[in-house]
A and B are shown apart, each in its own frame.
Chain A
Amino acid sequence: MNLLRAIAVATLLFAATPLLAADIPPNERRSGYSFMAEDTRTIQDDDTANPGMLWVFDGETLWNRKTGDAGKACADCHGDGRETMKGVAARYPAFDKSLGRPVDLEQRINLERTQRQGAPTLPYESRDLLALTAFIANQSRGVAISAGDDAQLKPFVEKGRELFTLREGQLNLACANCHDDNWDKHLAGSAITQAHPTGYPEYRLEWQTLGSLQRRLRSCMAGIRAQAYGYGAPELVELELYLMSRAKGMPIETPAVRP
């Protein structure tokens, strides 16, 4: 009986919760880094202990390696990535004129491969695509996020925001129900965090590997028992774009380490 009463009370409380709380005020925004245990932060801070650096170094090798029918390396056009790629990841996803929509860093790399290098696209979560993305994003470490500033992106940021606040899945939860409303609480012992994508691609101890922001978004969707969008879907890019614009001004940490 007590159990039934508890369930009834819980249901009432849940139903009485307003649909959405307000956005997180800028001065209360926190990187996922600040939610982590000291041990995990220590791994991230030390480039010789951060396993994400394995991908960064691999990415630099790939940057300088000729590939595709054109026989060109990234470096043949872009020079030393350590110089020329600084700040690039902080601006992504960015508007692509020919496609008329935003593309994320992974898609940009694949567009360059197909259009300039004559090389096949690399699938999401493949070692090579993660490595190139990690190398490029690592050059923006410490650079403030500015994605979404482009006026052409406005409708896409808005679409991403709609997706962020859209309840879906069998648990009928929106991203915002956890990451705007309950970021100061825990879920099954883990900090919920504010969902600022400051360190992607990031090394998750749970994954035992580096992963993209799209992988993270898809696993959140599986968690609320919704059908996840496929890798590269416009909806996922819009979500990435909204999250980056929401994290405006926060420094890039790639490769971040998270539990």
Chain B
Amino acid sequence: MTAALINVPRKARRGDIIEIKTLMSHVMEPGYRRTAAGDLLPRDIITSFGCRYNGEEIFRADFFPAIAANPFLSFFTVAKESGKFEFEWTGDNGFSETASSSITVE
């Protein structure tokens, strides 16, 4: 099923500042809520996100319980060369998702 929505420009001119937008499907259960019966709902969150541009890490973020479900991130980088952006999310209960997107730089 669909895990991530990624928005990277397909084309850019060399030196352009481009915006990268990612949205990952996740409940982000903070670990503080209780069920109607009073049992604690265990924490289940994404803990880390990283983005690589042709293998080089350009962005990394740690996530915490106060971050909303289906977390959306937007960040910027300089378009240096054609290639691939690789995204990786890891979290509680062995959560691990990856996605990628290519760009043509002219």
Contacts and interface: CB of A to CB of B under 8 A. Distances in A.
A49 B7 CA distance: 8
B72 A49 contact: yes
A209 B29 CA distance: 12
Interface residues on B, range: 10 to 19
A49 B21 contact: yes
Contact of B68 (A47, A49, A58, A205): A205
**Chain A: interface size category:** 10 to 19
B1 interface: yes
Contacts, number: 40
B41 interface: no
Given A54-B25, A61-B2, A48 B69 contact: no
Nearest to A53: B5
B68 A48 contact: no
B44 to A, nearest CB: 13
B18 interface: no
B23 A58 contact: no
A57 interface: yes
A81 B70 CA distance: 26
A116 B34 CA distance: 40
B6 interface: yes
Given A48-B5, A48-B7, A49-B5, A54 B70 contact: yes
Interface in B59-91: 68-70, 72
A100 to B, nearest CB: 37
A208 interface: yes
Interface in A226-241: none
Interface of A: 43, 46-49, 51, 53-54, 57-58, 61, 205, 208-209
18 contacts: A43-B72, A48-B7, A49-B5, A49-B7, A49-B23, A51-B5, A51-B23, A51-B25, A51-B72, A54-B2, A54-B23, A57-B1, A57-B2, A61-B2, A205-B68, A208-B27, A208-B69, A209-B69
